[in-house]
Chains A and B, each alone.
Chain A
């Protein structure tokens, strides 16, 4: 993985939700961005989408476009306030199911064991004032999920909500002070999720990293796009078989066309007797 690869994008709807994260994670503003957008030194980005599911989806699309050159997509997490049918203000919730109130479609983020309470989230088009069901309510979740799970592996997409209003304290009572107070109480819990998610993403990025030999061999000879794909997979296989050095030696040997290079790489990968390479590192 290149050092500048982004491993996690945090999407919030409002600048009030961004503020505590900017302070906590030491985010710095990214200039010349169409949306308020921040970066830290540890592979994270923060983007402020604006309210509603269309804006949330658009923000995911926008930042995915900016990161399109990465070999592997980052993970995504949506952070923000939500209403709830029964829970106390300030409760932190990892979302296990999202229901789009408009379409009735249900989506299921992959559960992560990170010690947080899990909850079902309903994404509504207008702020919820009745809290009819015993679940969380927001206005971005389903739009965020649908976009993020298209750009990334859906197992690397999560939503974390903090209860800011409920039947006793409805949306009319939500103000800056309330938002600051409820989010502050859940920053540590959210930071734990961020750490866990970034570890999963980094692991995922590591095993899809560009092989060392590919970086050298792609410079040798002219290759069509399809030949580049073949070469990349051959280099991955070579790396898995412990043949990096043999492949790097080919990069130092003059070869003619791209096809000749590919033939030489195929010979190396297919014909070198297989030794017993090291057991690949596994996450668990």
Chain B
């Protein structure tokens, strides 16, 4: 899974790091002073590095909780995101992380206690309800057996019912969730693309049927599940592909119990697109004609008409109150 583990000297002795290292006794452990020495260097190639990614165990300095980008997520009002990880085990070709980071190594920030303190401070400063998104810079559950993210953070959210946590994922790592009592203020948001788009773009992502099975198990156990159909990539037969996906998904899941359903087209900041196109000059997705609006780039020929069609089909399965259209570039 990893070619090596880098460990910041400051966190090497912590219990969390020692537990993680104990899982990988054969792997080389490379000490470093700060993760940026490895992660932020110029001259790296994300695509080459993705062949042999390493895990970096580090301490997050500075604010751990940040305001969510405009248009991100389902709730109006105060919304925030936090990232205990940078980068993702999976390798979706459309993922903007490839343009955002110079390195494909996975950074896991192990000072969860500092995240917890920042989350509690942020919640205390809000007058009403607030929402926290996890999974903006990573897939929140994909590394769960190593990170034990849910085991640490969910008990904290259980004590703070005025805050909702959305965990965005394409993973099937739901065992830890199934072993605990569901939280009414936690939403597991599972992202799906049509099977054709998944086969083409979503490398190393668990099979669609396995992810649907995981979502169904969560629902059956009482967890609040949300569906994120994004990014929709305009291609020949895209409508039919998504109609088939909807049929499959809504046959397996209980629509009444769904927290929310959203749809969003493939969009990305222009700078990220440029970087990814340089990394993947052979990838048709980044060779297609595009349009740019407010610094965000989307494929020409996509846009409202396609999304309207998909929306009206979606609304034949779910209630309008359950639906929203994602207005920001989105991942996971």
Query: Contact residues of A with B, CB < 8 Å?
Result: 96-97, 106, 108, 110-113, 117-118, 120, 149-150, 153-156, 200, 204, 207-208, 233, 236-242, 269-271, 274-277, 279-284
Do residues B282 and A240 form an inter-chain contact, with CB atoms below 8 A? Answer: yes
B41 touches A111 (CB 8 A): no
Q: Shortest distance in angstroms between A234's beta carbon and chain B's nearest beta carbon?
A: 9
**One of B30, B48, B236, B301 near A108 (C-beta < 8 A):** B30
**B235:A276 contact, CB within 8 angstroms:** yes
| A-B pair number, CB within 8 angstroms | 107
Q: Name the CB-closest residue of B to A208.
A: B281
CA distance A271 to B301 in the complex (A): 11
User: What's the least CB distance linking B47 to chain A, in Å?
Assistant: 8
* Cβ-based interface call for B216 (8 A): no
Minimum-distance CB pairs A-B, first 9 = A237-B287, A111-B4, A240-B287, A118-B28, A111-B3, A155-B48, A153-B45, A277-B284, A154-B43
Cβ contact within 8 Å between B287 and A241:
yes
- Quick one: which of B228-282 are within 8 Å of A by CB? 235-236, 280-282
Minimum distance in angstroms from A92 CB to a CB of chain B? 14
**B49 x A112 contact (CB < 8 A):** no
Task: A150-B43, A153-B48 are known; give 18 further A-B pairs, CB within 8 A.
Answer: A106-B32, A106-B37, A108-B6, A108-B30, A110-B44, A110-B52, A112-B52, A118-B30, A153-B45, A155-B44, A240-B281, A240-B286, A240-B287, A241-B284, A277-B284, A280-B280, A281-B282, A284-B203
Are B38 and A108 in contact, CB atoms less than 8 angstroms apart?
yes
Q: Is B288 an interface residue (CB 8 A)?
A: yes
Closest to A281 in B: B282
B31 at the A interface (CB under 8 A): yes
Inside 8 A of A279's CB, which chain B residues have their CB?
Answer: 199-200
Residues of B close to A113: CB separation below 8 A: 3, 52
A111: B residues at CB distance < 8 A: 3-4, 28, 30, 52, 54
Chain B residues with CB below 8 A from A237, complex form: 281, 287
B283 at the interface (CB under 8 A from A): yes
Minimum CB distance partner of A106 in chain B: B37
Give me the interface of B with A, judged by CB distance under 8 Å: 3-4, 6, 28, 30-33, 37-38, 41, 43-45, 47-52, 54, 199-200, 203, 235-236, 280-284, 286-289, 301
Is B282 touching A280 in the complex (CB atoms < 8 A)? yes
Complex contacts, A112 vs chain B, CB 8 Å: 3, 52
Give Cα A240 to B287, complex, Å.
6
The answer to whether A204 touches B45, judged by C-beta atoms less than 8 angstroms apart, is yes
- Cα–Cα distance between A154 and B49 once the two chains are bound (Å): 10
B51 and A106 form a contact (CB under 8 A): no
Query: Contact check: which of A200, A274, A281 meets B284 at CB < 8 Å?
Result: A274
Contact indicator B4/A118 (Cβ below 8 Å): yes
Q: Which of B31, B236, B280, B287 has the most CB of A within 10 A?
A: B287
20 contacts between A and B (CB under 8 A): A97-B31, A108-B30, A110-B3, A111-B30, A112-B52, A118-B30, A120-B31, A153-B43, A154-B45, A155-B48, A156-B48, A207-B281, A207-B282, A242-B284, A274-B236, A274-B289, A274-B301, A275-B236, A276-B235, A283-B51
Identify which of A97, A117, A283 gathers the most chain B CB atoms within 10 Å of its CB.
A97
Closest chain B CB from A207 CB (angstroms)? 5
The residue in B4, B43, B282 that gathers the most chain A C-beta atoms within 10 A of its C-beta is B282
A237 CA to B179 CA in the complex, in Å?
A: 49
CB nearest to B196 among chain A residues = A276
**Chain A residues whose CB sits within 8 angstroms of the CB of B6 once the complex forms:** 108
| Residue in B closest to A278 when the chains form the complex, CB atoms | B284
CB-CB under 8 A for A270 and B41, given A108-B32, A200-B51: no
Chain B min CB distance to A196 (Å): 9
Residues of B with C-beta under 8 A to A149: 43
* Complex Cα spacing A105 to B281, Å: 34
B242 to chain A, nearest CB (A): 15
Once the chains bind, are B44 and A153 in contact (CB under 8 Å)? yes
- The reply to whether B284 and A96 contact each other, CB–CB distance below 8 Å, is no
Q: Which residue of B lies closest to A243 (CB)?
A: B287
Taking the nearest CB of chain A, how far is it from the CB of B95, in angstroms? 14
Q: Nearest CB to that of B285 among chain A residues?
A: A240
Establish whether residues B37 and A108, one from each chain, have CB atoms under 8 Å apart when the complex forms. yes
Q: A45 to B50, alpha carbons, bound, how many Å?
A: 26
Q: Which residue of B lies closest to A97 (CB)?
A: B30
Could you say which residues of chain A place their CB within 8 Å of the CB of B31? 97, 120
Provide the bound-state CA to CA distance between A284 and B281, in Å.
17
Within 8 Å CB of A110, what residues of B?
3, 44, 48-49, 52, 54
Chain A residues with CB under 8 A of B30: 96-97, 108, 111, 118, 120
Contacts of B37 in A (CB 8 A): 106, 108
- Chain B residues whose CB sits within 8 angstroms of the CB of A282 once the complex forms: 203
CB-defined contacts of B41 to chain A, threshold 8 Å: 108, 154
Residues on A with C-beta less than 8 A from B203 are: 282, 284
Chain A residues with Cβ under 8 A from B3's Cβ? 110-113
- The docked-state distance in angstroms from the alpha carbon of A276 to that of B236 is 7
Q: Which of A207, A236, A274 contacts B288 (CB 8 A)?
A: A274
Closest A residue to B39 by beta carbon equals A108
Q: When chains A and B are docked, how far (Å) is the Cα of A150 from the Cα of B28? A: 26
Shortest beta-carbon distance from A10 to chain B in Å: 19
How far is it, in angstroms, between the C-alpha of A279 and the C-alpha of B280 when the chains are bound?
Answer: 12
Cross-chain contact A241 with B38 (CB below 8 angstroms):
no
Cα separation A277 to B6 with both chains bound (whole Å): 39
